[in-house]
A and B are shown apart, each in its own frame.
Chain A
Amino acid sequence: MDMNSRSKYAWAYIMIAPTLIGTLVFWGSPAIYSLYLGFMKSENFGLINHWVGLDNYHKLFRDEEFWRNLRNTLYYVVLVVPLTLVFSTFFAVLMNTRIKGASVYRVIFFLPQVTMPAAVALVWIVLFAQDFGLLNYFLGTHIAWISDPRFAMYALVLVGVWGGIGFNMLLILAGLQNIPRTLYEAGELEGAVGFRKFRHITLPLLTPTLFFTTVILMIGATQIFDSIYLIIGKTNVALPSVRSLVYAYYQNAFVYYDQNYGAVMVNILLLINLILTGFQFMLQKKWVFYE
């Protein structure tokens, strides 16, 4: 009665074949090859490779610019992730109060998400302008947001948070809507209102969502490239204060054509991402409250 299992296997292999082969050829083997390139010295863009062991990594760890890039990247993550999380949660909680017109706000907050980062970056160049920029006009300041090494990082953080709120708010809103109303009603009977309601009912039940959102945000933020490339630009004096690992990778691999040195940089980024993910999953057990 059951289908012949051999033909069943055949069907299964045929159905997974395009995805499996495509993944292995274009994504899986490149990931392995990047690790391999880290131990090589290549000539002619990969045509001749000599084994050099850990030389590229030794060079990297003695390179002050690398440590600075790493620090920049982590500083960006440390600023962007909590800020985006706080604002997204704040707006999501407000929108979850069943007020009128919530869908209109949702559309407006989501707008940056459907806007190409390259275009967003060009608009922010105009908004950040020192003399004629709208930002300085509203703040009453005269800051060279883009070219002052002290401020360039905050400019990038502002762009990142502005662009990230809509998406993350949506995730958190979905999490909020999964919390049963009856819990709030029970809480209200026991006198939980306002912030206490948020602290003792919403927050514990929202932690799985917040946890998940944090992971996505962190992984995205460690890969910052677009806004540095477009807003700061390669000739800017502020570049060293904001240059990220991915930007340095791009410069080394595709501007200076040192693909081995580029590879060790992104391999470190891979390691950071794996550690972050692992760390998050360990922490998850401690502070995430599952129903």
Chain B
Amino acid sequence: MSGNRTTAVRKTHFAIHLILIVGAVVMIVPFLWMILTSFKTTTEATQIPIVFFPRHPSFAAYAEVIEKSDFPHYYLNTAFSALMKTVFPVIFSSMAAYAFARIQFPGKTLCFFLIISVMMVPNAVFYTPQYIIMSKLGLVNTVTALWICSLISPFATFLLRQYFLSISKELEEAAILDGCNPFQIYRFIMLPLVKSALVAIVIIQLLWTWNDLQWPLIINSSPEKLTLSAGLATLASAFYSKYPVLTAGAFMAVIPMILLFFIFQKRFIEGVAFSAHKG
């Protein structure tokens, strides 16, 4: 009886693995194809029958990407705006979230509602007015325009407030007795308690910034002011059928984030799952 059961379990597990492996292959093939194609010559990439592995792996496509586009600037602009759009929202949101979670003050509900209500608005609604603001400030086509609107995050504020609410009040009460002001309580007692939530926010802000396309595309046009994703868009329109060049550019753009992901995979997955779940 128990022997039958183990065989049955083993069979089910085998079937499950089989299905998951098929799924994993489908997920991974585009990545493999990207890498393989990037080392082919244009002729090899457009041959019939299909050539799977480059016969003489060449870096020609990478050389062409580096020559014809401005990847050093793309990297710098993307990394710098990612840094700004991560550090400031983490500081500002955690401060605001603490106040919303723990301090009673007049107008609290209204202020909180004003902040989170923008979460329901699709991003495209903001772009024209934000463009007008940028042009009034003389910031169109500057690196500053890439991040200036996003130093705050309603989403992170909402998320961290939930998190602060779930923490017991006892620790704070002791600190209040000791004469700490709300900022000190936030900074020295509460902030260390929500480290995992802060890491989650760092990760999602990093991912969103790194991957964002539409705003950089709208606001900046000079090559030295573009981000990686907007840079790839110009690459795509210039080299639409030069497959090795497209894939070499794509590979160069994704490699930093994929490396980070492999190093911190557990934190990435937990961070994204956490943020989505609390939201």
Interface residues of A (CB under 8 A from B): 1-3, 7-9, 11-16, 18-20, 22-31, 33-34, 37, 45-46, 91, 94-95, 97, 99, 101, 105-127, 129, 131-132, 134, 137, 162, 165-167, 170-171, 173-174, 216, 219, 222-223, 225-226, 229-230, 233, 245-246, 249-250, 253-254, 259, 262-263, 266-267, 269-270, 273-274, 277
- What is the chain A residue whose CB lies nearest that of B91? A18
Complex CA–CA separation, A33 to B211 (angstroms): 27
- Tell me if A250 and B214 are in contact (CB < 8 A): yes
B188 at the interface (CB under 8 A from A): no
Best-surrounded residue of A13, A111, A120 (most CB of chain B within 10 A): A111
B17 at the interface (CB under 8 A from A): yes
B residues in contact with A115, CB < 8 Å: 31, 254, 257-258
- Tell me if A29 and B129 are in contact (CB < 8 A): yes
Best-surrounded residue of A19, A110, A262 (most CB of chain B within 10 A): A19
Q: What 9 new A-B contacts, CB under 8 Å, besides A9-B105, A171-B273, A263-B128?
A: A19-B95, A37-B129, A101-B17, A105-B20, A119-B232, A122-B235, A125-B246, A137-B50, A226-B214
- Tell me if B237 and A233 are in contact (CB < 8 A): yes
28 contacts between A and B (CB under 8 A): A8-B182, A15-B186, A19-B152, A22-B151, A26-B133, A27-B154, A28-B118, A31-B118, A45-B132, A94-B20, A95-B20, A112-B30, A114-B258, A115-B254, A115-B257, A115-B258, A116-B211, A118-B236, A119-B229, A122-B235, A123-B247, A126-B247, A129-B243, A132-B243, A162-B30, A173-B273, A226-B213, A254-B218
- Tell me if A97 and B124 are in contact (CB < 8 A): no
B192 at the interface (CB under 8 A from A): no
Type the 1/0 row for B124-164, where 1 means its CB is closer than 8 Å to any CB of A.
11111111110100000000000011111110010000000
B41 at the interface (CB under 8 A from A): no
- Tell me if A122 and B99 are in contact (CB < 8 A): no
B71 at the interface (CB under 8 A from A): no
B81 at the interface (CB under 8 A from A): no
